[in-house]
Structure 1
Amino acid sequence: MEIRCTQANHQNLQIIGACIDPECQYQRPYCHYCQISHSQHFVNTIPLEFLSNWMQEKYEAFQVMQYSFQECKSSLQTIIDLFIPLININAENLGLSELSNKIKCFSQIQELEILFQSELKQSMDFIILIADQIRQNMKKVATEKQPINALVQTRNLQNTIQIQTQQYQKKISFELIEQNSIQQTEGCRAIAFNKDDSIVLAACDQLIKVYKHDKGKLNYNQTLNEHKENVVTLNFMMKSDRFVSGSFDSTIIIWQQVQFKWVKQQQLTGHSNCILCLIVNNKEDLIISSSKDCTIKFWGKQYDWILQQTVNEHNKSIHSISLNEQQNQLISCSLDKSLYVMQLRELDQKWIVKQFIEVNQYGYRISFINNNQFVYQPYCSEFMQVYDLDQSTLQYKKTIDIPVKCGSQHDTSYFQLQYLKSKGILINKNGKFINILRKLDDNNQFVVEQLIQFDDHINFGQLSQDGCYLINWDIVKRKLQIRKYKEL
Structure 2
Amino acid sequence: MFNPKPLENLSDYQCFLNHCMPICAVNLQPGLTSDQRFACKNCIELTHLNVSPLNKIIETIEKPIKQKLNQYEEIITPHLNLLKQFYGNISLMESIILQQLDQLTNLVNNWINSIKQKGEQIARYNFFNQLDLLINNQQVANEIEEKTSDFELMTINKAQSIKLNSYLDPFKSFQGYSNLQNILKQIIGSQNEVNLKECHEFQQQKQQQSISQQIKQPLMSEFLQQYNQQIQSYPLLKESNLGSSFSYQIIPKLTYEQGELCQALAINYNNTLIAIASECNINILTINQSLNQLEEPKLLQSLERNHKNHVTTLNFFKKASQMLNSLISGSLDSTIVIWTPDQQFKKWNALFKLKNHTYAINCLLISQSSEDCIVSGSADKTIKFWSMTNFNYWSCSQTIQEHTSYVYGLSINDQGNKLLSCGNDNLILIISRSHQEQWQVKQKIHNGGISISFITDNIFACSSLEGTSLIFYYMDQENGIYIQSNQFQIQTGGKGNANYFPLQYNKSKNILLSKNGHYVNLIKSPTNPPIDDNKVILEQAIFFIQNMIFGTMSDDGALLVTWDSKSSEVQFRKYKQKL
Give the TM-score, by structure 1 length: 0.64
> Structure 1 residue 419 and structure 2 residue 505: aligned?
yes
> Which deviations, in whole Å up to 9, do the C-alpha atoms of 1:192-236 show, x marking residues without a partner?
111111101100001100011113342211110121111110001
Aligned to 2:263: 189
Q: Aligned equivalents of 1:241 and 1:452: distance in 2?
A: 30
Write the letter of the residue equivalent to 1:309.
Q
Q: Which runs of 5+ in 2 are unaligned?
A: 1-195, 197-235
Point out 4+ residue stretches in structure 1 off by more than 6 angstroms. none
Give the superposition deviation at 1:409: 2.9
Give the superposition deviation at 1:237: 0.7
> Structure 1 residue 231 and structure 2 residue 311: aligned?
yes
Give the superposition deviation at 1:182: 1.9
Aligned to 1:253: 337
Kept after mapping to 2: 8 A contact 1:411/1:458: no
Kept after mapping to 2: 8 A contact 1:170/1:487: no
Kept after mapping to 1: 8 A contact 2:238/2:536: no
Give the superposition deviation at 1:402: 3.3
Matches within 5 A, 1:309-458: 309-346=398-435, 348-359=436-447, 363-409=449-495, 411-440=497-526, 442=528, 444=531, 445-458=535-548
Q: CA RMSD in A?
A: 2.1
Aligned to 1:112: none
Q: Aligned equivalents of 2:318 and 2:277: distance in 1?
A: 19
Kept after mapping to 2: 8 A contact 1:296/1:312: yes
The SS at the match of 2:314 is strand
- Pick from 385, 399, 411 the counterpart of residue 298 of structure 1: 385
Give the superposition deviation at 1:447: 1.1
Q: Aligned equivalents of 2:528 and 2:385: distance in 1?
A: 33
| Pair 327,319 (structure 1): closer, same or farther in 2 beyond 3 Å | same
Aligned to 1:91: none
Kept after mapping to 2: 8 A contact 1:380/1:431: no
Matches within 5 A, 1:9-88: none
The SS at the match of 1:178 is strand
Q: Aligned equivalents of 2:386 and 2:397: distance in 1?
A: 6
> Which deviations, in whole Å up to 9, do the C-alpha atoms of 1:105-127 show, x marking residues without a partner?
xxxxxxxxxxxxxxx9847x86x
Give the superposition deviation at 1:401: 2.0
| Pair 301,121 (structure 1): closer, same or farther in 2 beyond 3 Å | closer
Q: Aligned equivalents of 1:180 and 1:199: distance in 2?
A: 14
Give the superposition deviation at 1:440: 4.8
> Structure 1 residue 220 and structure 2 residue 304: aligned?
no
| Pair 121,284 (structure 1): closer, same or farther in 2 beyond 3 Å | closer
Give the superposition deviation at 1:316: 0.6
The SS at the match of 2:297 is strand
Give the TM-score, by structure 2 length: 0.54
Aligned to 2:207: none
> Structure 1 residue 285 and structure 2 residue 285: aligned?
no
> Structure 1 residue 203 and structure 2 residue 277: aligned?
yes
Kept after mapping to 1: 8 A contact 2:237/2:536: no
Q: Which runs of 5+ in 1 are unaligned?
A: 1-87, 89-119, 127-167
Q: Aligned equivalents of 1:188 and 1:483: distance in 2?
A: 17
| Pair 354,423 (structure 1): closer, same or farther in 2 beyond 3 Å | same
Write the letter of the residue equivalent to 2:547.
H
> Structure 1 residue 173 and structure 2 residue 262: aligned?
no
Q: How many residues align?
A: 326
> Which deviations, in whole Å up to 9, do the C-alpha atoms of 1:121-147 show, x marking residues without a partner?
847x86xxxxxxxxxxxxxxxxxxxxx
Give the superposition deviation at 1:456: 2.1
Give the superposition deviation at 1:171: 2.0
The SS at the match of 2:253 is helix
Kept after mapping to 2: 8 A contact 1:245/1:254: yes
| Pair 389,442 (structure 1): closer, same or farther in 2 beyond 3 Å | closer
Q: Aligned equivalents of 2:467 and 2:553: distance in 1?
A: 22
Q: Aligned equivalents of 2:364 and 2:467: distance in 1?
A: 24
Aligned to 1:241: 325
| Pair 441,281 (structure 1): closer, same or farther in 2 beyond 3 Å | closer
Q: Aligned equivalents of 2:427 and 2:526: distance in 1?
A: 28
> Which deviations, in whole Å up to 9, do the C-alpha atoms of 1:363-422 show, x marking residues without a partner?
221011111111001023443111000011211011112342222235241111111101
State the percentage of identical aligned residues: 34
Q: Aligned equivalents of 1:192 and 1:340: distance in 2?
A: 25
Give the superposition deviation at 1:176: 1.4
